[in-house]
Amino acid sequence: MSSWAANLTLNHKLGLVALALGGVAVLSRVAPERTLTLNAKELLTRIERQDDHVTPAELATWIIEGRTDYRLIDIRDAAAFAAYHIPTAEHVPLSEVADGGLARTDKLVLYGDGGIHAAQAQIVLGGMGYRRVYTLREGLDAWKDEVLYPSGPEHPDAEHAARFERAVRVARFFGGQPRAATPAGTSAPAAPVAAPEPVPPPPVSTPALPAGGVFGAPPAKKKEGC
């Protein structure tokens, strides 16, 4: 037996090592555990400081400026995304957010219909080591309310008028339109409308961007093929 072992060439030994390693590998598990590591105090402080939001107005500005240093992520389902999504948004449903399509080094802005799901996803990603995750404060509801269909006071002063003027331009850029101004001081809804004024359905197709188009598709990812 020992003479057999002594007669093994280098190649034979390499082959045996490979078979041994391969055999043990049968037991291997390679899917990473998706456990979260959270520091309670740190997390609660962050939530209280509220510095991990992006307001709809800020996001609108970023889009108009053509910034590509972040990724806008829509976490709703496919049907909702298809019906309308904020221009430049990528679709990553909530359940797939931890699957690996989002890099820990990316700056991410998440949004859902309201603010809750995005905030929950933000906590989960934070527990997985993501440090650059932001949410659109109050989500699409706020986007529609503040960007797409802005409303302003009925009798604005100069400053408010200028601001509203700008909001209207932004709204039109995204395919929306201003809402009629609510009469100041009215406590009861004006007759004959009993319910609040219905918000018109959002535009179905994402609006065309200006010809000077500062940016194109989602941030350019270098090809990783061979």
Partner 1 sequence: MELPASPKHPPQPYMNPYLAGIGIGVALLAAFVLVGRGLGASGAFNSTIAWLVSSVAPDYAHGNRFLAGYLDGDHPLKSWLVFEVAGVFAGALLSGLLAHRAALVVERGPRISVAGRLVLAFIGGVLMAFGAAFARGCTSGQALTGGSLLNLGSWVFMLSVFGGAYAVAWLVRRQWR
Partner 2 sequence: MMAPLAKLGYFGDEVGLVIAFAIGIGFGFFLERAGFGSAKKLVAQFYLRDLAVFKVMFSAIVTAMLGVTYLAWAGVLDLSLVYLVPTYWVAQLVGGLVLGVGFVVGGYCPGTSIASTATGRIDGMVYVLGFAFGTLGFAVASPVLDGLLGAGELGPTTLPDALGAPRGVVVFLVVVLAVVGFAGASWIEHKLAARDAVAPK
Q: Does 15 bind partner 2 (CB under 8 A)?
A: yes
Give the span between the Cα atoms of 206 and 218, in whole angstroms. Answer: 14
* CB nearer to partner 1: pick between 69 and 224: 224
Q: Which of 1, 6, 31, 191 binds partner 2 (CB under 8 A)?
A: 31
Q: Which of 33, 48, 69, 159 binds partner 2 (CB under 8 A)?
A: 33
Closest approach of partner 1 to the CB of residue 21, in Å:
12
Give the span between the Cα atoms of 200 and 41, in whole angstroms. Answer: 43
Residue 190 contact, options partner 1, partner 2, none, Cβ 5-8 Å cut-off depending on partner type? none
Q: One-letter amino acid identity for 185?
A: G
Contacts for 61-69: CB closer than 8 Å, 24+ residues apart: 63/87, 63/88, 64/170, 64/173, 65/214, 66/213, 66/214, 66/215, 67/215, 68/215, 68/218, 68/219, 68/220, 69/107, 69/219
Residue 161 contact, options partner 1, partner 2, none, Cβ 5-8 Å cut-off depending on partner type? none
**Contact positions toward partner 1, by CB under 8 A?**
10-11, 14, 220-226
Q: Which of 3, 37, 105, 187 binds partner 2 (CB under 8 A)?
A: 105
Cα distances from 190 to residues 111, 193, 194, 195, in angstroms, run 34, 6, 7, 9
Give the span between the Cα atoms of 96 and 209, in whole angstroms. Answer: 29
Q: Segment contacting partner 2 (CB under 8 A): 23-31, 40-48, 82-90, 141-149?
A: 23-31
Residues of span 54-73 touching partner 2 by CB under 8 A: none
Provide the binding-site residues for partner 2, judged by CB under 8 A: 11, 15, 18-19, 21-23, 25-33, 99-100, 103-105, 129, 222, 224-226
